[in-house]
Amino acid sequence: MFRSEYADVPPVDLPSHEAVLGRAAEFGDTPALIDGTDGTTLTYDQVDRFHRRVAAALAEAGVRKGDVLALHSPNTVAFPTAFYAATRAGASVTTVHPLATPDEFAKQLGDSRARWIVTVSPLLETARRAAELAGGVQEIFVCDSAPGHRSLIDMLASTAPEPHIDIDPAEDVAALPYSSGTTGIPKGVMLTHRQIATNLAQLEPAMPAKPGDRILAVLPFFHIYGLTALMNAPLRQGATVVVLPRCDLETFLAAVQNHRITDLFVAPPIVLALAKHPLVAEYDLSSLRHVVSAAAPLDARLAEACSRRLNLPPVGQAYGMTELSPGTHVVPLDAMREAPPGTVGRLIAGTEMRIVSLDDPDKDLGVGEDGEILIRGPQVMKGYLGRPDATAAMIDTDGWLHTGDVGHVDADGWLFVVDRVKELIKYKGFQVAPAELEALLLTHPGIADAAVIGVQDDNGNEVPRAYVVRQPTATELSEGEVMMYVAERVAPYKRVRQVTFIDGVPRAASGKILRRQLRGHA
């Protein structure tokens, strides 16, 4: 068993909104949220006052403890206000992908039994259609304004009394995000107030922030990584969050330059752009101090290329999953130069880990041995909503969550993630890690992006198939060239046997490759 070197963190028995905004009065006029495109700014004092007024209006509208409110919005400065207002009114918040189709949205509404929706006017038709399909939705609110719908802006003028709800942080669900669905049907992940608040306290020693720090919210708040690293954690510590409602590379780079961003928390596709895209050279990114990547595997060579280009300490990584609130490992900000290349970090405070054999789950492995990563700690989810069997399959009777990820630990406690158990390709009995081949393919100068999955060949063997996006300057790159490039650099059993050229690799908002979509493409 591996344990964190940090001192244990006692459970934080506070409602999540109090855990985040409890120091808002201290931070006062410090900018809390800035719209990265139009400059709209909310101070800590305003966020605190605004979320309390909206909570009062929601309670007056009928929101009660135990209700579920669906928050369906891109990143905006209003998103945190809506989230904290809902939890203060006693509701659980299920965050919805802004690009969800009406059918996808309706399934989440139905599964979570959401009675309320908060959306934005450009997404209103999708929300209305989803509500019609699901049934049971009492009212749709908007963050901005739309005829026939109450607005959060109007709610700020509410004179209703502020609700004082008796919240049990250990049992009451604050957030109900849905797992990404990259390996199965999306499930509602029940995260209690205590789990969210305690995970923030666990992360703080390794990832400190302070007034004056500027964090760019480029990843979506609806995803647990964005919700924690880009919203809750910086607002808990007095930093300023610059919000990007949309993200293209130019908008992103301009925001870093114009708002003097100090810390970036991103996913591997952004690291890839920072390392390789010519546009990066046209912007002043000198304010940056740290870049941290999470949500998907990041190749050590790509990380090194990014840090070298930006003249920064090595790109750090973090590890976790929705079911873990989400953090368990991180490369501490003060240890980025000493961390070995490719590590996702060390255990955060109050967290335990086991590495168990893929062939014998009862067998614990030692330093340097690859096996499935198991986690135990106060951040482990309450369970999957309405799916006790799925919960039991994920969390064993001793409280260990089985991540489905494969990795090993070195002698200094650094974790290295190799791949997903379910994504490992079994070629003639040998295990092939798609992430390893993807990282290698990205070193080819003619390849802009790549993904690898296992497919059946004519002989019934599972073989690696690469889906490759050519660089604009490499339109003549052939299937044979790609296969030869890999074959010269890996053991024979790891060779790519098939290549398909595509226009773009399908990814979740978190940056994870949607391998199921590629299998459909196969």
**pLDDT tens for the 522 residues of the chain, in order:** 999 999 999 999 999 999 999 999 999 999 999 999 999 999 999 999 999 999 999 999 999 999 999 999 999 999 999 999 999 999 999 999 898 899 989 999 999 999 999 999 999 999 999 999 999 999 999 999 999 999 999 999 999 999 999 999 999 999 999 985 445 678 999 999 999 999 999 999 999 999 999 999 999 999 999 999 999 999 999 999 999 998 899 999 999 999 999 999 998 889 999 999 999 999 999 999 999 999 888 889 999 999 999 999 999 999 999 999 999 999 999 999 999 999 999 999 999 999 999 989 999 999 999 999 999 999 999 999 999 999 999 999 999 999 999 999 999 999 999 877 778 888 887 778 898 899 999 999 999 999 999 998 887 788 999 999 999 999 999 999 999 999 999 888 899 999 999 999 999 888 889 888 898 775
User: How many C-beta atoms lie closer than 10 Å to residue 190's C-beta?
Assistant: 22
Q: Which two tokens stand for residue 399?
A: 């409280």
Strand, helix or coil for residue 270: helix
For residue 345, give the DSSP letter: B
Q: Which two tokens stand for residue 152?
A: 């959060």
Contact indicator for 48, 28 with CB cutoff of 8 Å: no
Q: Which of 106, 88, 89 minimizes the C-alpha distance to 97?
A: 106
Q: Which two tokens stand for residue 413?
A: 């406690």
Specify the amino acid at residue 87: T
Burial of residue 459 (number of CB atoms within 10 Å: 0-12, 13-18, 19+)? exposed
3-state secondary structure 379-427: CCCCEECCCHHHHHHHECCCCCEEEEEEEEECCCCCEEEEEECCCCEEE
3-state secondary structure 216-266: EECCCCCCHHHHHHHHHHHHHHCCEEEECCCCCHHHHHHHHHHCCCCEEEE
Paired residues of 245 in beta bridges:
none
Q: Which two tokens stand for residue 146?
A: 């739309």
Sheet holding 316-320, edge to edge: 41-43, 31-35, 240-243, 214-217, 263-266, 290-293, 316-320, 327-330, 346-347
Q: Which residue has the tokens 């929300």?
A: 127
* pLDDT score recorded for residue 181: 43
Q: Which two tokens stand for residue 143?
A: 């963050």
Residues 50, 78: Cα–Cα separation, whole Å = 10
pTM to 2 decimal places:
0.89
User: Residue 360, by phi and psi: left (phi above 0), alpha (psi -120 to 50) or beta?
Assistant: beta
Q: Which of 284, 358, 15, 331 minimizes the C-alpha distance to 170?
A: 15
Residues 385, 179: Cα–Cα separation, whole Å = 11
Residue 375 neighbours by CB under 8 Å, 6+ apart: 324, 328, 351, 352, 353, 400, 401, 403
**How many degrees, rounded to 5, is the angle at CA 354 between CA 348 and CA 356?**
150
Residues 98, 342: Cα–Cα separation, whole Å = 32
Q: What share of the chain is helix, strand, coil (3-state, %, to 5)?
A: 30, 25, 45
Q: What's CA 367's distance to the chain center, in Å?
A: 28
Specify the amino acid at residue 63: V
What are the distances in angstroms from CA 291 to CA 219, 441, 510? 13, 23, 16
Residues 440, 454: Cα–Cα separation, whole Å = 16
Total residue length of the chain:
522
Residues 13, 63: Cα–Cα separation, whole Å = 23
* pLDDT score recorded for residue 400: 97
* pLDDT score recorded for residue 460: 76
* pLDDT score recorded for residue 255: 98
Specify the amino acid at residue 36: G
* pLDDT score recorded for residue 247: 81
Q: Which two tokens stand for residue 310?
A: 């930006």
User: How many C-beta atoms lie closer than 10 Å to residue 58's C-beta?
Assistant: 30
Residues 63, 343: Cα–Cα separation, whole Å = 44
Sheet holding 2-3, edge to edge: 2-3, 352-356, 371-376, 401-409, 415-420
